[in-house]
Amino acid sequence: MIVRISDDALAIACGADELAAAFVAAGAEVQRVSSWGMHWLEPLVEVDGIGYGNATPGDVAAIMGGTAPNIGKIEDHVFIAGQTRLTFARAGKTRPLSLEDYAATGGWQGLEQARTLGAAATIEAVLQSGLRGRGGAGFPAGIKWRTVADVAGAQKYIVCNADEGDSATFADRMVMEGDPYMLIEGMAIAALAVGAGQGYVYIRSEYPHAIAKMRAAIEASAGIVAPFRLEVRVGAGAYVCGE
Considering the domain architecture, whether residues 185 and 125 belong to the same structural domain is answered as: yes
pLDDT tens digit string along 147-166? 999 999 999 999 998 888 76
CATH number at residue 40: 3.40.30.10
CATH number at residue 139: 3.40.50.11540
Considering the domain architecture, whether residues 30 and 123 belong to the same structural domain is answered as: no
* DSSP-H helix ranges across 42-140: 60-65, 78-81, 99-104, 109-117, 119-129
Quote the percentage of the chain above a pLDDT of 70: 96
On whether residue 74 sits in a domain, the answer given is: yes
Within 13 Å of residue 71, how many CA atoms lie on the same side as its CB? Answer: 20
On whether residue 127 sits in a domain, the answer given is: yes
pLDDT tens digit string along 182-210? 999 999 999 999 999 999 999 988 899 99
Structural domains counted in the chain: 2
Which residue type, as a one-letter code, is found at position 77? H
Neighbours of 129 (CB within 10 A): 11
pLDDT of residue 238 exceeding 70: no
By the 8 A CB rule, do 163 and 202 touch?
A: yes
* Full domain range(s) for residue 27: 2-81
By the 8 A CB rule, do 228 and 196 touch?
A: yes
Considering the domain architecture, whether residues 175 and 142 belong to the same structural domain is answered as: yes
Indicate the DSSP class of residue 213. Answer: H
Confidence of residue 239 (pLDDT cuts 50, 70, 90): low
Considering the domain architecture, whether residues 63 and 111 belong to the same structural domain is answered as: no
Considering the domain architecture, whether residues 15 and 77 belong to the same structural domain is answered as: yes
List, in order, residues 6 or more apart from 119 with CB less than 8 Å away: 149, 192, 193, 194, 195
On whether residue 173 sits in a domain, the answer given is: yes
pLDDT tens digit string along 110-138? 999 999 999 999 999 999 999 998 777 88
On whether residue 86 sits in a domain, the answer given is: no
On whether residue 70 sits in a domain, the answer given is: yes
Considering the domain architecture, whether residues 236 and 117 belong to the same structural domain is answered as: yes
